[in-house]
Structure formats: C-alpha cells, structure tokens
Amino acid sequence: MQKVNIVCFGNLKEKYWRDAAAEYSKRLGAFCTFSVAELPESRLPSEPSEKEITAALAKEALSLEKYLGAKGAYNIALCIEGKTISSEALSERLSDTAAKGFGTVNLYIGSSYGLAESVKERCQMRLSMSPMTFPHQLARVMLCEQLYRAFSISSHGKYHK
C-alpha cells in the first residue's frame, strides 16, 4: 500500500479544521497509509526583512530533509507557481507514481512565506491548488479532500461525480 504524507508547517488550530482533516484521514486509510507531519514554523517579526524571510525558509528546509531525502519518495511542492491540474489528473499522477515504484508520496505545504527554493528544486512536481490564495489551514483540508477524491477516482468509487 502506498504511503502518502502531507508535510506542513504549523498545526490546525480550530476544532472544525481538525475534524475535517481527521475525517479525510480516516477515509484515506482505505486507499493508502496516510499521515500528516506538522513541523514548527520559524518565528519572524511582524514585518520581516527579505533576509529574515530567506533565513527562516532555509531553516525550515533543513527540517524537511528527512522527507526530501527518503529513498523511493515522490515529492510534490505545493506552491503558487506550480501547475494546476484536475482531480482526474491528480488521480493519474498518484497511480503513475505507484506504478513507477514510488512507495511514498510526500506533499509539502510551506509556512506563511511558502517553501524555500531549494525544497522546490528537489521535488519532482510543483502543484498549485488554484491561482487564488487560501489560508494554510483550509489548503490542508482541501488537499486531504483532493487526495481522497483522487484515490476514489482510481478505484472507481462513487465519491467523485
């Protein structure tokens, strides 16, 4: 069974976000070994300089090394400049990664200033959920839902219409 990890910075603060993510996590258990790794976000002043932002992103990138360097992992960076794809295309991508021998898919959601360029360069794919901007907590729940939808599509389930 393929392992799917969402690796993100910060945690879900409100109960309704936690409940939604937990529901999709439970549903995903039928299709994959699913987990979410919540890493600490670097602390920055209220109006950080570019240098402070770059340093924070570099520090966060170091905490991703365990996942980025994992053997047999397909890495996807969620970022604004990424490619937007349909739910069907995501389903195909996940199926293709499994068929090509990738036992793990890691999806990275950056902190409030995104992901370091060094992280994005090490990923096989850059994915954008939309040209619109979403709060990180909502983006995580949306990603969980899309993963569930993608697996439902590939198993010809009733969820995707």
Domain with residue 35: its CATH number is 3.40.1280.10
Is residue 81 in some structural domain?
Answer: yes
Is residue 161 in some structural domain?
Answer: no
Is residue 101 in some structural domain?
Answer: yes
Is residue 160 in some structural domain?
Answer: no
Q: Say if residues 74 and 44 touch (Cβ distance below 8 Å).
A: no
How many domains does the chain divide into? 1
Is residue 116 in some structural domain?
Answer: yes
pLDDT in tens, the chain (161 residues): 999 999 999 999 999 999 999 999 999 999 999 999 999 999 999 999 999 999 999 999 999 999 999 999 999 999 999 999 999 999 999 999 999 999 999 999 999 999 999 999 999 999 999 999 889 899 999 999 999 999 999 999 887 66
Is residue 149 in some structural domain?
Answer: yes
Q: Say if residues 116 and 57 touch (Cβ distance below 8 Å).
A: yes
Task: Note down the domain range covering 9.
Answer: 3-154
Q: Against a cut of 0.75, is the pTM above it?
A: yes
**What are the residues facing 75 on neighbouring strands?**
106
